Amino acid sequence: MNAETIIGKQSIRFREAPHIVSRASIVGKKEGEGPLGKLFDRIEEDPMAGQASWEEAESAFQKQAARLAMEKAGPGVPPVRYLFSGDLLGQLIATSFGVMDLKLPLFGLYGACSTIGEALMLAAMTVQGGYSDAVLALTSSHFGSAEKQFRFPLAYGGQRPLSSTWTVTGSGAFVLAHTGGKTRMTGATPGRVVDYGLKDSMNMGACMAPAACDTICAHLEDFDRKPSDYDYIITGDLGSVGQTLLLELAGKRGVELEGRHLDCGMLIFDPETQDTHAGGSGCACSAVTLAAYILPKLETGEWKRVLFVPTGALLSTVSYNEGQSVPGIAHAVVLEHC
């Protein structure tokens, strides 16, 4: 056992912390009109991205983001050897059809909306372990394909509950390598599946808040840190309902997150003008917010250290119809200015 690397119950400390050397974010029109609109690399006005279906459009987003991230890494970075990627669609079709042309060895991941956390920590482990000089972490989601798979056809008229979230259309990509860039990943806490028995798939923030709390508390304990050791603890897509619950749950465990917590889902949309209700969601929600908002703040040194905790709700239409609950998962990575 390597006591320097294996920390506490479930965490990892990276001795030679891999660097995030480049980042790319491509989003749809609605995200471009949101509060972070100006920060994204590219805004695709056409929700179909010139393709024939929502699924193909999502694949096109992934391909564009991956290419852009590798392009931005520049010639100083060794060529990307492996790719860690995933999405929300059945059998990961957005990923497999999106990255096909990149001709890179692929590890396909499913962590629902927490996928980018999983991809980043596996990429960092691969780099730190010496298995590759540069690795690409990638994910995507699309409002059209997600609605079609999990809820109703887009043209169906219905009312969304106020606790529901709006799936972000977009893709985020990150290249990790030994050196380069101004941010490094110094640690990670992979999350467990946490189930508090909730069955409301239209209130995913509430379903995921216990998982976020579990991972954050485990992380702080493993690293023997306090929330104040971070500029911010930033969850993926809990939304306003999930945030309230997370603060409450963490408070009960003696962890005060008030004032230290941000949520990508609450940053990406303006609920007043964009009719998104509790916030944004989807794999792309945390990924594009990381690429466009969080990493730049770390790169300039405005923030020194953040805990980035993408969250996922683990359900399918089958598990839901068969009466199963909606468990959650959250993966935490420590990102530091360097």
Partner 1 sequence: MAQEERMTEENEKKMNEVTDQEKVEYSELVKEATPVHSLGIQMLRAFLTGGLICCAGQGILNCAESLGLEKDAAGTWCSVLLVLVSVLLTGFNVFPLIARWGGAGALVPITGFANSVAAPAIEYQKEGQVFGIGCKIFTIAGPVILYGTVASWLLGLVYWVLKVTGIV
**Separation between Cα atoms, residue 247 and residue 18, nearest integer Å:** 31
Q: Which of 75, 153, 254, 323 binds partner 1 (CB under 8 A)?
A: 153
Q: Verify binding: residue 156, partner 1, rule CB under 8 A.
A: yes
The residues near 112 (Cβ < 8 Å, ≥ 6 apart) are: 88, 283, 312, 313, 314, 315, 329
Q: Restricting to residues 48-107, which ones interact with partner 1 according to CB under 8 A? A: 52-53
Residue closer to partner 1, measured from CB, 87 or 336: 87
Q: Verify binding: residue 152, partner 1, rule CB under 8 A.
A: yes
Q: Verify binding: residue 155, partner 1, rule CB under 8 A.
A: yes
Residue closer to partner 1, measured from CB, 133 or 195: 195
Residue closer to partner 1, measured from CB, 159 or 228: 159
Q: Verify binding: residue 318, partner 1, rule CB under 8 A.
A: no
Q: Which stretch binds partner 1 (CB under 8 A): 13-21, 96-104, 190-198, 229-237?
A: 190-198
Min separation Cβ 53 and partner 1, Å:
5
Q: Verify binding: residue 220, partner 1, rule CB under 8 A.
A: no
Q: Verify binding: residue 238, partner 1, rule CB under 8 A.
A: no
Q: Verify binding: residue 274, partner 1, rule CB under 8 A.
A: no
- What does the CA dihedral 307, 115, 238, 274 come to, rounded to 10 degrees? 110
**Separation between Cα atoms, residue 178 and residue 155, nearest integer Å:** 47
Q: Where are the beta strands (DSSP E) in the chain?
A: 6-7, 11-13, 19-28, 42-44, 82-86, 106-108, 134-141, 166-167, 170-177, 183-189, 232-235, 261-263, 280-281, 305-309, 311-313, 328-330, 332-337
What is the binding site for partner 1 (CB under 8 A)?
A: 52-53, 148, 152-163, 194-198, 203, 206, 210, 241, 244-245, 248-249
